[in-house]
Amino acid sequence: GDDIHKPISVLSGGEKSRVGLLKMLLSESNLLILDEPTNHLDYATKELFQKALLEYGGTIIIVSHDRAFLDDLVERVIEIRDGRLYDYPGNYSWFIEKRNVQTTAEIDNGENEKSDQSQAERSKEQKRSEAEERNRIYREKRSIEDRLSPIEKKIEKDEKRKEEISGLLCDPGVLDDSTKVQSLMIELKDTEKRLEENYPLWEELAAKIESIK
């Protein structure tokens, strides 16, 4: 709509963040440095952003407190401790696990690095597969919600009109007008018929949404 013509200066903080992220992803650079990139992003936008980063061909350096976001994205963790750098191939959870159960000597061991690299490669494919499955579920849910919304509006409208008609049929002034009463009775019957048709549709779609949560 008209939102595409808005100048960036009038956008909210979250909207400005999304524009900035989009500009970075569209650039031809081979290195991205991201500082808390998920701030101001809603769940759906974060999912799309994750997918875009997984498909990015360059190197990404991320500073973030969003552990779930890091786990689905990071392939390598570099720890700075006691004036030294420690390299952990794998995601953040893998880093925590290795740091807790292995000594520095074990981490630096060539055999372990080879094993870790293999784990990182498997982890990357698993993360990609999980991200694709989440996106599939999101699209399926959104499709059902798009069908459910107009039905809910129709039900709400008809329930309101049914209540109005019932009130009119209790009005002595209306009851004295047989033509008006007949017209209202016909409209009431049509309204109830629409409700009987839409209630099962609503229940079916609502159950589908509930089943994929």
Rounded Cα gap, residues 192 and 162, in angstroms: 7
Q: Are residues 175 and 207 both part of a single domain?
A: yes
Q: Are residues 10 and 67 both part of a single domain?
A: yes
Q: Are residues 7 and 78 both part of a single domain?
A: yes
**What are the phi and psi torsion angles at 36 (to 5°)?**
50, 55
Q: Are residues 103 and 157 both part of a single domain?
A: no
139: left (phi over 0), alpha (psi -120 to 50) or beta: alpha
Q: Are residues 6 and 101 both part of a single domain?
A: yes
Q: Are residues 126 and 170 both part of a single domain?
A: no
Scanning the structure block, which residue is given the tokens 């999912």? 47
pLDDT tens per residue, the chain (213 residues)? Answer: 556 666 666 565 556 666 766 676 676 678 888 888 777 777 777 888 888 888 877 888 888 888 878 887 888 888 888 888 888 888 888 888 887 776 555 555 555 566 666 777 777 788 888 888 888 888 888 889 899 999 999 999 999 999 999 999 888 888 889 899 999 999 999 999 999 999 999 999 989 888 876
Q: Are residues 28 and 130 both part of a single domain?
A: yes
- Of 79, 107, 139, the residue at which a domain comes to its end is 139
Q: Are residues 104 and 10 both part of a single domain?
A: yes
Q: Are residues 167 and 198 both part of a single domain?
A: yes
CATH code for the domain of 62: 3.40.50.300
Outline where the chain has alpha helix (H). Answer: 13-26, 43-54, 67-71, 92-101, 104-108, 110-168, 172-175, 178-211
- Of 117, 139, 161, the residue at which a domain comes to its end is 139
Q: Are residues 129 and 72 both part of a single domain?
A: yes
90: left (phi over 0), alpha (psi -120 to 50) or beta: left
Asked if 30 contacts 53 with a C-beta cutoff of 8 angstroms, the reply is no
Rounded Cα gap, residues 88 and 108, in angstroms: 9
Q: Are residues 78 and 50 both part of a single domain?
A: yes
- Of 92, 119, 139, the residue at which a domain comes to its end is 139
User: In this structure, what is the dihedral angle of CA atoms 98, 101, 104, 109, given to the nearest 10 degrees?
Assistant: -70
pLDDT value of residue 115: 64
Determine the length of the chain: 213
Which domain does 47 fall in, by range?
2-139
| The total number of structural domains that make up the chain | 2
User: What pTM, to 2 d.p., does this model score?
Assistant: 0.41
Scanning the structure block, which residue is given the tokens 């989440």? 134
Q: Are residues 149 and 67 both part of a single domain?
A: no
